[in-house]
Amino acid sequence: MIEWWVDGLLGLMMLWLAWQALSAADLLRAVAMFVTFGLLVAIAWIRLGAPDVAIAEAAIGAGLTGALLLITIRRMEDQRRSGSREKRRAKAD
């Protein structure tokens, strides 16, 4: 009986995190929710008896993809800053 509660709670948490990741206005918050979602998916795979898939999900789904998304956000912010500097220079000339 307790296993049903754990699985149900895990499923509800995954749905909530997926919604939070998709509806977040802040990109950094969205990536954090996505990484957390990936870790919960890895736990779900462990509960389903597939530890090899869980390890792959944690490494690729949460780890590597999360890192790539964070790098992308940083580069976007750098480009935004450099773009605003160029606009200020163009207005000054």
Q: Of the candidates 78, 80, 72, which has an alpha carbon nearest to the alpha carbon of residue 28? A: 72
What's the chain's average pLDDT?
90
pLDDT band at 5 (very low <50, low <70, confident <90, very high): very high
Residue 86, pLDDT > 80, answer: no
Which pLDDT score is estimated for 62?
84
Axis-axis angle for helices 2-23, 27-47 (nearest 10): 160
Q: What is the arithmetic mean of pLDDT over 39-60?
A: 94
DSSP one-letter code for 25 = S
Each as own residue / partner, the long-range contacts of residues 63-66 (CB below 8 Å, 24 or more positions apart, any chain) are: 63/35, 63/38, 65/34, 65/38, 66/31, 66/34, 66/35, 66/38
pTM of the model as a whole: 0.80
Q: What is the arithmetic mean of pLDDT over 66-84?
A: 90
Q: CB–CB of 14/41 below 8 Å? A: yes
